[in-house]
Amino acid sequence: MCAMPTEDATAEVSADETVAETGERDQFSGNLGFILAAVGSAIGLGNIWRFPFITAANGGAAFVLVYLGLLVVMGLPVLLAEIAVGRKAQLNAVGAYRDAGEQGETWKYAGLLGVVAALTVLSFYAVVAGWTIQYVLGSVTGAYFGDPGTYLQGILEGPSAILFQLIFMSLTAMVIAAGVSDGIENTVEVLMPALFLILGGLAIYAFTLDGAGAGYSFFLSPEWGIFTDYGSLPALLVDAAGQAAFTLSLGQAALITYGSYLGKDRDLSGSSLAVVVGNTSASFLAALAVFPMLASFGILGTAGGVETTFQALPAFFASLDLWGRVLGVAFFSVLAMGAFTSAISLLEIPVSYAVDEFGVERWKAAVLIAEAVALFGLLSALDQDFLTMADQIAVNLLIVTGIFLISVYAGWYFPDLKEEVNRGANYVKLGGFAQIMLRYVTPVLLLVLVLFSYYDFACNTVGLC
C-alpha cells in the first residue's frame, strides 16, 4: 500500500487552500468508470437479499409498481441531485454541502450526517459481507453441506465473524488507499461485469428448474388489494421508499462523493439513468434466480432474511452435491462482490472527507478509518441484536433524514442545479418540470416518509407505542 503521487500532493494542501483549488484531485477516467462505480455502490446486499423478499411479502407485482414509481419520482431526482452537488463542488460530502449552494455553513452538517451514516452502515455491512465470504469458502469445501443450520449459527457471531469482517475491511481499505482511478475504478471494472454474468447465469439456470413457474408467481403475483387497503398503504409506501433509497445508496452522500470525482464535461443525467436501470436489473435478476430455486426445493414459503439466504438456499445447494458447490460459489460470490463494491463506496465517504478537509494522506485515512470502523463493527460481530439495531438506526433514521435533506438542499438552496446537470448532458436535459418536481414534489413526499419512518422506529423498534 503506497500513496499515489497525487495524494502526496493533497497532503500538502493547507486548510484554507482546498484540494479543489489546487486541481490535484483524482478523477474517474470516464463516464463508464463512474457508472460502474455508482452501480457497484448501488448493487449490494439490498438487491440480492432484501429486494426479493420485501417484494414477495408486500403484494408482488403491485409492490413492484409502487417501487418502480418511487424510483422515478424520488430515486432518480435524488440520485441526480447528489451527483450534481458533488460534481459542482468537487469536494467531499461536508465540503460539497458547504460550497455548492447557499447557507453552506449550516448545510455542512447534512454532509456530516452522511459521513456518520456511512460509518454506521459500514460497521455492520462488513460483518454481513464477512458471512458471505465464509459461505463462498463453505461452498468450496462443502462445510455446510451436512448441517446448514449449525454452520450458520457457528459463523454469525464470535471469532469467525470477527476474522472475516477484518479480512473484508482490509481488502476494502486496500482499494481505497490506491485511489479513485487506480483503486475504485479498476476494481469495479472487473467485478461489475463478472457480477452481471454470474447473476444472469444463475437466473437462466433457475429457469430450467421444475417448479420455476411457482417461484415466479410467488414473487410477482399481484395483490391489487394493497392499493385499497388504506390502513397498511402508508407502511407499504415507507417500505418501498426505504428500499428505493437504500438500494440506490442515497442519503449518505455516497453519490455526492463519487460525483465529486467527475469531470465537468461528463453526462450526469445519462449516467443517473444508467445507474437506476443497472441497479434495478440486478434486483430482478436476483429475484428470478432465488425464487425458482426455493420453489424447486419446496421451501418457497420460508420467511425472508438471514435464514433464507444463509440457510434455506445453502440447504438447496447441499442437496445437489457437486453441482451445488458450483452454484453455491457462484451465488455467494455475487453477494460478496456486491457487498465489496458497496463497502468501497461507503469507506470512500469518510476518507474523502479526511483527505479534503484535514489534508490527511489518502492511504493513512483509509487504514485509520477502516480500523476504527472495524473496531465499532466488533459489536455487530459479537451480537446479532446489536447488528439489527445498527441497521435500523442507519436505515430508518439516518438515511431517510439524509435523502430528505438533500432533496430540500437541491430544490431550494442549490441554485446552480439545472446548469450543473445540463452541462455535459447528451440525452436528457433538466427542464422546468424536473425542477418543479425537485422543489415541491420530492421534498414533500420525503417529509411524509421521514415522519412515518420516525414513527415506525419509535413504535416498533423502541417500543414506545
84-123 mask for ligand PHE (x: CB under 6 A)? -------------------------------------x--
Out of 80, 136, 254, 398, which residue is the one contacting ligand PHE (CB under 6 A)?
A: 254
- The closest alpha carbon to 354, from 369, 342, 341, belongs to 369
Stretch that binds ligand PHE, among 206-214, 247-255, 309-317, 377-385 (CB under 6 A): 247-255
Q: Which residue has the cell 429475484?
A: 287
Residue 409 beta carbon to ligand PHE: minimum distance, rounded to whole angstroms: 18
Out of 28, 144, 246, 297, which residue is the one contacting ligand PHE (CB under 6 A)?
A: 246
Q: How many CB atoms lie within 10 A of CB 301?
A: 9
Q: Which residue has the cell 482546498?
A: 18
Stretch that binds ligand PHE, among 36-44, 170-178, 196-204, 379-387 (CB under 6 A): 36-44
Contact 107/409 with Cβ under 8 angstroms? yes
Residue 384 beta carbon to ligand PHE: minimum distance, rounded to whole angstroms: 19
Contact 119/345 with Cβ under 8 angstroms? no
Residue 164 beta carbon to ligand PHE: minimum distance, rounded to whole angstroms: 18
Q: In angstroms, rounded to a whole number, what is the distance separating the alpha carbons of residues 68 and 368?
A: 39
- The closest alpha carbon to 118, from 395, 405, 461, 450, belongs to 395
Out of 18, 31, 40, 44, which residue is the one contacting ligand PHE (CB under 6 A)?
A: 44
Residue 48 beta carbon to ligand PHE: minimum distance, rounded to whole angstroms: 8
Taken in order 266, 269, 272, 278, the sign of the CA dihedral is negative
10 vs 165, beta carbon nearer ligand PHE: 165
Stretch that binds ligand PHE, among 21-29, 56-64, 249-257, 416-424 (CB under 6 A): 249-257
254 vs 387, beta carbon nearer ligand PHE: 254
151 vs 353, beta carbon nearer ligand PHE: 353
100 vs 122, beta carbon nearer ligand PHE: 122
Cα(first)–Cα(last) distance of the chain, in Å? 51
Spatial neighbors of 457 by CB under 8 A, at least 6 apart, are 392, 396, 397
Residue 395 beta carbon to ligand PHE: minimum distance, rounded to whole angstroms: 9
- The string of DSSP codes covering 289-357 is HHHHHHHHTT-TTS-SSHHIIIIIHHHHHHHTTHHHHHHHHHHHHHHHHHHHHHHHHHHHHHHHHHHHH
Tell me: does residue 247 bind ligand PHE (CB under 6 A). Answer: yes
Out of 31, 139, 252, 296, which residue is the one contacting ligand PHE (CB under 6 A)?
A: 252
For ligand PHE, the binding residues in 386-415 under the rule CB under 6 A are none
Residue 249 beta carbon to ligand PHE: minimum distance, rounded to whole angstroms: 3
Size of the residue set binding ligand PHE (CB under 6 A): 15
- The string of DSSP codes covering 427-454 is S----HHHHHIIIIIHHHHHHHHHHHHH
Residue 342 beta carbon to ligand PHE: minimum distance, rounded to whole angstroms: 4
Phi and psi based region of residue 253 (left: phi greater than 0; alpha: psi -120 to 50; beta: remaining) = left
Residue 346 beta carbon to ligand PHE: minimum distance, rounded to whole angstroms: 5
Tell me: does residue 41 bind ligand PHE (CB under 6 A). Answer: yes
115 vs 315, beta carbon nearer ligand PHE: 115
- The closest alpha carbon to 122, from 389, 381, 343, 348, belongs to 343
Stretch that binds ligand PHE, among 43-51, 231-239, 309-317, 456-464 (CB under 6 A): 43-51
Q: In angstroms, rounded to a whole number, what is the distance separating the alpha carbons of residues 336 and 330?
A: 10
323-362 mask for ligand PHE (x: CB under 6 A)? -------------------x--xx----------------
Inter-helix orientation angle 233-247/61-70, to 10°: 60
Residues lying near ligand PHE in the complex (CB under 6 A) are found at 41-42, 44-47, 121, 246-247, 249, 252, 254, 342, 345-346
